[in-house]
Amino acid sequence: MTFREGRLVRVMVSMADTLVSDFDAVDLFYELVVSCTDLLGVAQAGLLLTDGNGELRVVAASSEATGVVELLELENQGGPGAEAFRTGRPVRSGELAGSQAHHRWPDFGEAALSEGFRAVTAVPMRLRDHVAGALDLFLTEAVDLSDEDLTVAQALADLATIAILQDRSTIDDRTLISQLRTALETRVLIEQAKGIVAHEAGLNMDEAFGRIRNHARNNNERLRDISAAIVSGDLTPARLTSGD
């Protein structure tokens, strides 16, 4: 078994461990996007879920850099992720500076190029015939993912989709809306907690999130519960564990 195969097995086992009742969906989302940057060598990754009305909402990004989040939010105006969501099939952008990509997604392509990305591959978040969102993979070179990497990305996305829609005999818009509402509410709470930790501990936002996530994992707690405790003042940044 190669190093990457071993890493992939560990990631999939970790994600599969969430297939229990009352799991932390937001932690799973971050596990997915961070694992994609690690396993696939992409620069950044972001996850979008539908609100049930055809709109995609950002629920996780491998970096909280403003540019990445803004790019994900642009997807509703057209982009590889929006196309993967609409068609239920993977989408490779090719060279974003090329005429074909510019014609398909002019605003998204221009914005992505301005952030230093040269290509984007997107895979749908799907379960059977239902598509719940899309996973965007940003590359700094004008080279699309290989077929093998695309298979890995789709497998991870499918596993995450199964997790968030588990134990449902039927999948409908109300289910998706409920899942999205919880994820978005938790994301807002995490953003507030990150701001507090970053300010008080002198960290950037990504470092602050890493501190919060490590504390949650080390203490077998949910991200949203730890974030809520920080926001309420019940847990001070100084008490957060920083080890992996």
pLDDT at 21 over 60: no
**Conformation bin of residue 134: beta by default, left when phi > 0, alpha when psi is -120 to 50:** beta
Q: What percent of the chain has pLDDT over 70?
A: 84
Q: Looking at residue 168, what is its pLDDT?
A: 47
Average of per-residue pLDDT across 211-215:
89
pTM score, two decimals?
Answer: 0.78
Q: What average pLDDT does the chain have?
A: 83
Average of per-residue pLDDT across 99-120:
91
How many CB atoms are closer than 10 A to CB 155?
A: 13
Three-class secondary structure of residue 221 per DSSP: coil
Residue owning tokens 């984007």:
120
Residue 21 tokens, joined: 């009742």
Domains, the chain, ranges and CATH? 3-168 (3.30.450.40), 185-239 (1.10.10.10)
- pLDDT tens sequence across 143-201: 778 888 999 999 889 888 877 666 444 455 565 566 667 777 777 888 899 899 999 99
Q: What percent of the chain has pLDDT over 90?
A: 34
Q: Please tell me the distance from the alpha carbon of residue 154 to that of residue 36, in angstroms, as a whole number.
A: 10
